[in-house]
């Protein structure tokens, strides 16, 4: 069943719309903003949602770095299992991370904190997928942010190993 379009006539100024139909609430708030109807806005929930959007961007950065670092660790510590799939994942995560930073330049100030958290997650991913013990991996990330995001960086012997997988 299609969702009815929200317009001035269908604005549902119910206080519980946020809890009962989030999509309709978002459409209502957008309409109210477009119409400059400031006093009818659900400011408390609107503020909460805007803050949440910022947190989602930070989480996306951490997630992408986690997957990228996990694959770099697998690449370095389990060279016999390298595959086109790992290579593709590394490349995609780098591109997507760089695009996220381009779209949200203020996230660059959060990179160092994100790296520390992402390394722990990436290490867990690598341990889970390689069955290597935790002590195999460094306690802190041995890769710098510049290396992690550099398309030519592959831990080990980059030029030879990457061309073997290609």
pLDDT digits (tens, 9 = 90+) for 139-153: 999 999 999 999 999
The vertex-51 CA angle with 62 and 26, nearest 5°, equals 115
Check whether 28 has a pLDDT greater than 50: yes
Average pLDDT on 12-24 reads 79
Question: Half-sphere exposure (CA, 13 Å, Cβ side) for 43?
Answer: 4
Check whether 32 has a pLDDT greater than 50: yes
When mean pLDDT is compared across 2-6, 18-22, 100-104, 130-134, the lowest value belongs to 2-6
| pTM of the entire predicted model | 0.78
Phi-psi region of 11 (alpha: psi -120 to 50; beta: other; left: phi over 0): beta
CB 53 within 8 A of CB 102: no
Looking up tokens 């408390």, which residue turns up? 44
Domains of the chain: which residue ranges? 8-40, 55-165
Check whether 63 has a pLDDT greater than 60: yes
Query: Of 76, 77, 75, which Cα lies nearest the Cα of 85?
Result: 75
Distances (CA, A) of 146 to 76, 83, 111, 142: 17, 23, 11, 12
Chain centroid offset of residue 34 CA: 30
φ, ψ dihedrals at 151, nearest 5°: -60, -15
Q: What's the 3-state SS for 102-146? A: HHCHHHHHHHHHHHHHHHHHHHHHHHHHHCCCHHHCCCCCCCCHH
Check whether 158 has a pLDDT greater than 90: no
Distances (CA, A) of 136 to 33, 82, 131: 54, 17, 10
Query: Of 1, 42, 8, 39, which Cα lies nearest the Cα of 25?
Result: 42
**Mean pLDDT computed over every residue of the chain:** 88
Tokens read off for 144:
């710098």
Is 33 or 3 the better-scoring residue by pLDDT? 33
Is 67 or 15 the better-scoring residue by pLDDT? 67
Band of the pLDDT at 1, cuts 50, 70, 90?
A: very low
């Amino acid at each position: 069943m299609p969702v009815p379009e929200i317009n001035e006539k269908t604005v549902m100024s119910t206080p519980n719309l946020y809890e009962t139909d989030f999509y309709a609430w978002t459409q209502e708030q957008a309409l109210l903003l477009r119409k400059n109807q400031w006093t009818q806005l659900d400011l408390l929930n609107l503020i909460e949602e805007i803050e949440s959007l910022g947190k989602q961007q930070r989480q996306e950065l951490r997630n992408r770095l986690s997957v990228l670092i996990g694959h770099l660790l697998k690449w370095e510590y389990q060279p016999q299992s390298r595959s086109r799939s790992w290579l593709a994942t590394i490349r995609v995560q780098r591109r997507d991370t760089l695009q996220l930073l381009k779209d949200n330049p203020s996230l660059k100030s959060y990179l160092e904190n994100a790296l520390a958290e992402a390394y722990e997650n990436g290490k867990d991913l690598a341990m889970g997928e390689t069955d290597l013990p935790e002590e195999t991996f460094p306690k802190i990330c041995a890769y710098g942010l510049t290396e992690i995001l550099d398309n030519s960086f592959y831990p080990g012997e980059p030029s030879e190993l990457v061309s073997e997988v290609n």
